[in-house]
Every structure is written in C-alpha cells, then in structure tokens.
Structure 1
Amino acid sequence: MDKLHAMSIFVRVIERGSFSAVARELQTTQPTISKVLRALERQLGGKLIARSTRKLSLTDEGQRYYNECRTILAAVDAAEHSFQSGRETVAGPLRIGSSVSFGRLQIAPRLTAFLERYPQVQIDLQLSDQNQDLVSEGLDVSLRIGALSDSGMIARPIGVTHRITVAAPAYLERHPAPLAPADLRLHNCLQFNLLSSQNLWTYEKDGQRHEVRIQGNAQSNNSEAIREMVLGGLGIALSPVWLFSEDLKAGRVVALLQDYRTQPLPMHAVFPANRRQSARIHAFVDHMAQALATAPELMPVR
C-alpha cells in the first residue's frame, strides 16, 4: 500500500465529509476509496472513522492521526514544490470559488484568455453568495470581496472594487434625489446583507467622514437581486460599480452623490493554509490580478 497516497485520501475524505465526493475528485469509485481506508486502518491496527448513516466522524485516535497526516502531507508538498519551483507545468484541475455575481460578470469572461494561455488547466468554477469553506468544498482558491474574517486562511490582495450609489429614474420621479449622505435617511435604501458594514454606509468629502445608518423595506444576500430591485424602482443601493456599469451607460440607473467618495472594497485571493499553492493557482491569481487592475468597470464613476 502506498502510505502517503492512503494518508492523502484519508485527509480528503475528512475534509470533504464524503467518500463519494473524493471518489469523484479522483475519478474512481466509492468502494475503491473505502478499500484504501480499510487497508490503512488494518495497518494501523485501529479505527480512524466512526461511520454512521448520516455523517463521518473521527475516533479519538483518528483525530490525532488526521492532525499528523496534515502536517506530514504539507511538509511533503513543500519539499516537492521547493524542488520543482520554476519548472512546474501549469496544468491540471483548478477549483475556484466566488460569489455568484462576481464569478459570472468578472471571472467567467476572463477564463477564455487564461485557458488559451494555459490549455492544460481544467477549470471548475463554484459560485455561492455564502463564504465557502475552502477545505470542505475542496476549493483551491476563492476570490472574495470585502473585509476578511480571521479564518486561518492565506490571503493575497488582488485589487479593490469601487462602489457607487444608484437609483432608477422611476424611483427618482417619486422621490427627490439625495444631495448629501444624510438625505439617505429619508429614502428606501436596499441592503446587501453579507457585508460586515451591514446597514452603515460611509462616505468622505474634503477629508470629512459621513456615516449614515440606512433603512429600507428590502434586503438580500445576492447582489444581482439588489440590482433587480433597483432597476424595478424599489429604492437606492450602494453597490460595486461593475454590477451597474452597463445600466449606467444605458441610462437604466442614475449615479447619486458623486461629490462624495465611497469606501472601496478590497479583493483577495484566499487559499487553504495547509495546501500547497501550485503553479496553476499562482498563474490564475496573477491573471486575475492583472486583469482586474485595469478593468474600467471597477474604477470610480466620474
């Protein structure tokens, strides 16, 4: 039995919480994964996993072995990467996580150029508006917008996205446009509720900071749902410029409070701390960082 291979499978099964998920990743069968783990348990002389119909859980011995396996595999990975550095081929599967809107509008359109340059990479783009757990979802890298929580992950800054205050002409026909941030208290403001700032919108002008606690009758954890509410004339939103760039050009929305600067949102590429950053991960993150740095739809509206 290849001990390192078995240890790697054991760790992936625990991280994914599923034999079948790991079987799909490795393009093999669930019985094959089970056979490898049974052989590992026999060689160790004890149970690693307490199996049940609902979920997998580690025995006490399994938990200790799992922690040691992660350390060993990370060390082996680091040694291989050190040896191969500079000559590793940009190839193989790459599983990427992102929010739905950013993935659809900013990542997906840039994959053609990336794959033309690196045709041996196979992309799996996983989109969710919840912050995905990179380990349990089997993600190699996730692109995130906004302040990061202290999750023990490794993060690389890849740029910022600016925001804009917008409303549809239909809404402004019924309500006078706000002239200052304080006027937003009189308006129906639509809240994207996954940001840490919650319902506090912050602006700056001439070195003075303006914070407004907004309120409204609708919110969502999906930015494209917020866009649809704005286009329907429901209220005012503070959103990334790229979400409304085409609507601004077409006159479907109007930019408000342009004399005031809004706080930009940082963008990061996030990696699992215990997983090697392969050449394909580095290549993809470099590609996105370069593309986003010059993307006009991420720049402030003038």
Structure 2
Amino acid sequence: MRHPVDKLNAMAIFVRVVERGSFSAVAREMQTSQPTISKVLRALETELGGKLIARSTRQLSLTDEGLRYYNECRQILAAVDAAEHSFQSGRETIAGHLRIGSSVSFGRLQIAPRLPAFLARYPDIQIDLQLNDQNQDLVSEGLDVTFRIGPLNDSGLIARHIGTTHRVTVATPAYLKQHGQPQTPQQLSEHNCLLFNLLNSQNLWIYERDGQRHEVRIKGNAQSNNSEAIREMVLGGLGIALSPVWLFSEDLKAGRVTAILQNYTAQSLPIHAVSPANRRQSARVKAFVDYMSQALEAAPELQAVK
C-alpha cells in the first residue's frame, strides 16, 4: 500500500539532493544522517522501478529518467506548496530555517549586525548566513534569499528592490597631500585608482553633474574582488577608490579618508533581495526582507554623502 505523504517527502528529499548535489548537505539541513537520506532515495527508486541518480565517486548526476522526474517533482511540490499557502494564508507561522546569501562585506557590515534584533523579534527562526563575493546560484547553494548589489543579469529570479548603495570617491588626506586632489572625474586618469573588479562596469567610473554624464577609464596598480580589501588599500594611502558609502562611513566621520569630487554624483547601485523563481516566498523570507528593507531605508550609512 502506498503512502502519499511519504512519497511527497521522498520527492522533496530527492529535489533537495539534486539542488545541493550532496547527500550529506541535505542530511545536515534536515538534521538527520546521510544513510537515512540514501535509504529514502533507494526506496523511491525501488518503487519507481529505475535509477534516478547515477552515483559516482566525485559527483551526483541524474539519469535521463531522473532528470525528467526531477522537473516533474518540482512542479508537483510547487503546486502542493501553493495549495497549502492558499489554505493557510494569514495563519502561516514565521519560523524555521532561513538560508541567506550575500557578498562578504555587505553581509558582514549590513546583515550580520542586524540579526540579533531580527531574531529577538522572530525567535523561532534559525539563520544560516552564507557569504561569498561571487554571485551565488540560489538553487545549487540551497539559498532562500540572497542580496545582490548592482544590476541584475538573471531575469528568471524573483527580485525586490530594497535599497540603494550610494557611492563615494575617497582617498586619505596623506595621499591627496602628496598627489593632489582631482577636481573633475577626468583628472582621475592621472591618479592611482583602486579597482573593485566584480562590477560589470570594471574600470569605467561614471559620474553625473547638471544632467551631464561623465565617464572616465581609471587605472591603478592594485585591484580586488573584495571591497574590504579595497578599503584597507585606501586606508594605507595607496590610492583612490569609488566605493559604497556604507563601507567608509566610519572612516569619513573620523577623518581617516576624505570624500572628493563632491560636486559630481557617482553612479549608485541598486540593492535587491532575490529568491528562486520556482519557490514561493515563505513567511520567514518575507519577514526578513521586510525587516532589511526598513532597516536599510533608515540607516544613515546608506544615504548619499552631502
């Protein structure tokens, strides 16, 4: 005799194993053992009468039948999820595991400090904050939501604009004393400019003044894929950077760096909360995104430098 609830559970486990690419990762998520996950999938394969996963020593890969079944399982689970949500609308509890992705600097400086207050408000949520300066794949990383700064390239995601990263051009007083202070964006080409190299704009810095756009190709002897590394280079007097205001807010207050080109507006970057398109946003995801949106709107370090 078949048990539909057990079948749905097995399908959900199968989908998670495919998305994470690891039995052990799913076992950790579900707070169970790897043999238990393997047993569930073997039982599912037995009931279906064929192999879903072609196991190898290096990685998991799907059989042709497994790929078809995976796509069908996703549709079925999404339909069940939508039906439950429709029934429970307005009564869904804000609880459970929440796996959040972010760039390293934004996660460390803007997300992590706000987690204590969020968890005090929602004590039944357990958070797993994953930081990576490369754009994380939400499905393979098992992320419920991730925060991205800059234009979104993937239109197949559910995205909500929650804030703006205003940027400021900065250098130390010592650097400016030695090399002079540029008065126009074009004069940046005469300076050692430090590049954060993960933005699509690369070495093109864009400013605006009186409705006119100013572009300058910068050059310098150092670059990094981590904005906090750029900050350390600036503080060391190495050169000039175009960076988020929130990265240098305390340094600006303390006078460790000086904001330059303030008659020009540097191109700002949108902040989005992004979720996989094939998953309904849970109450806990919505609660966290709402919380972060309100927090960023009120944060002084997210405002433009006057």
In the alignment, structure 2 segments of 5+ residues that lack a partner are: none
SS in 1 for 2:98: strand
SS in 1 for 2:139: helix
Matched, 1:285 2:293: no
Match of 2:227 in 1: 223
One-letter code of the match for 1:211?
E
TM-score (norm 1): 0.98
Q: Give the deviation of 1:173 after TM superposition.
A: 2.1
Aligned mate of 1:155, from 136, 152, 159:
159
One-letter code of the match for 1:196?
N
Match of 2:83 in 1: 79
Aligned residues: 302
Matched, 1:255 2:262: no
Aligned mate of 1:264, from 258, 261, 268:
268
Percentage of matched positions with identical amino acids: 80
Match of 2:112 in 1: 108
SS in 1 for 2:206: strand
In structure 1, distance between residues paired with 2:93 and 2:210: 50
Matched, 1:66 2:73: no
Match of 2:168 in 1: 164
Q: Give the deviation of 1:152 after TM superposition.
A: 1.9
SS in 1 for 2:140: helix
Q: Deviations over 1:179-227 (max 9, x none)?
A: 0000000011111011111111000011111001111111100000000
Match of 1:273 in 2: 277
Matched, 1:243 2:247: yes
In the alignment, structure 1 segments of 5+ residues that lack a partner are: none
In structure 2, distance between residues paired with 1:46 and 1:236: 61
* Runs of 4+ residues deviating >6 angstroms: none
Q: Give the deviation of 1:170 after TM superposition.
A: 2.0
Choose 255-264 or 168-177, whichever is displaced more.
168-177
In structure 2, distance between residues paired with 1:187 and 1:200: 14
TM-score (norm 2): 0.97
Aligned mate of 2:147, from 109, 129, 143:
143
Matched, 1:127 2:131: yes
Q: Deviations over 1:60-102 (max 9, x none)?
A: 0011001100111111111111111111111111111111111
